[in-house]
Structure 1
Amino acid sequence: MGDELTISAPDAQCNPRYGANALVELKITDAAGIKLVDKTAPMSDKGGFTFTFVLPKGAAPGEAKVVAMPHNIDWCDDTGHNNRVSGNATLQRASCAVPEKSFNVTP
């Protein structure tokens, strides 16, 4: 087995109200594009999470990628309508870019 790695994100400064049973969807690929992780994990109501996994020994060295976003939520509504907020709220549109970060796998 390989090294144990932890991926985490802090709670958002605003209150996105993901709910008590919120999940984060995690997809991790190695430098060769091989899927290492495709799972959901618990996420706080404000979006914070911590996920630990074991990096497989056969993972390709180089730049690996992590994509983490709320599971089963329309995180980018291109119509401009936020169906999770009711009442009078001033909203700021967010970027629709896929939230991706990289890390380096060394042999």
Structure 2
Amino acid sequence: MAPPSARAGDPVTVQAPDADCNPRYGKDARIQVTLTDAAGIKVINTTAPMTDGGAFTYTFVVPATAAAGPAAVEAVPYGVDWCDDTGRNNRAGGTGTTLERTSCAARTEPLTIIR
């Protein structure tokens, strides 16, 4: 993510390459990007295009309403509640297994909002 700090009105870009685990998100895959400010308010909550392998680049503008201080940017595959680090596709098969989100499914990056 760049830059690591920003003022209201500044652009911030968050991006990721394709995953190593071949997740097969599909041709219409989306990434959900949220920006939670220092007050704990989600001031951005949107989706953007993502490749079948999970790569994406999304640029947002820090809203004037965002509270100054430490904030968090999170990017999560939209509509997908799993990521199997072994490379198996757990969406197929209907095993009934309870799945937990793991390291490759959610990425949170710090962003300092300055005035």
TM-score class, shorter = 0.7 to 0.9
**Superposed, which structure 2 residues align to 1:14-53 within 5 Å?**
14-53=21-60
Verify: 1:106 aligned to 2:114, yes or no.
Answer: yes
Deviations 1:14-70 (A, max 9, x none): 311101100011111111112211111100111011111111133222111112111
TM-score, length-scaled by structure 1: 0.75
In the TM superposition, residue 84 of structure 1 has moved relative to its aligned partner by: 2.6
Instruction: Summarize deviations over 1:64-101 as a string: whole Å, max 9, x none.
Output: 11121111112168xxx954356xxxxxx973785322
Q: Judge which range, 94-103 or 38-47, deviates more.
A: 94-103
One-letter amino acid of the counterpart of residue 22, structure 2: N
Q: Which runs of 5+ in 2 are unaligned?
A: 1-7, 94-99
The reply to whether residue 84 of structure 1 matches residue 91 of structure 2 is yes
Q: CA RMSD for the aligned pairs?
A: 2.7
Deviant stretches of 4+, over 3 Å: 96-99
Quick check: which has more Rg, 1 or 2? 1
Calculate percent identity across the aligned residue pairs. Answer: 49
Query: What is the rounded CA distance, in whole Å, between the counterparts of 1:63 and 1:4 in structure 2?
Result: 17
Structure 1 stretches lacking a partner, 5+ long: 87-92
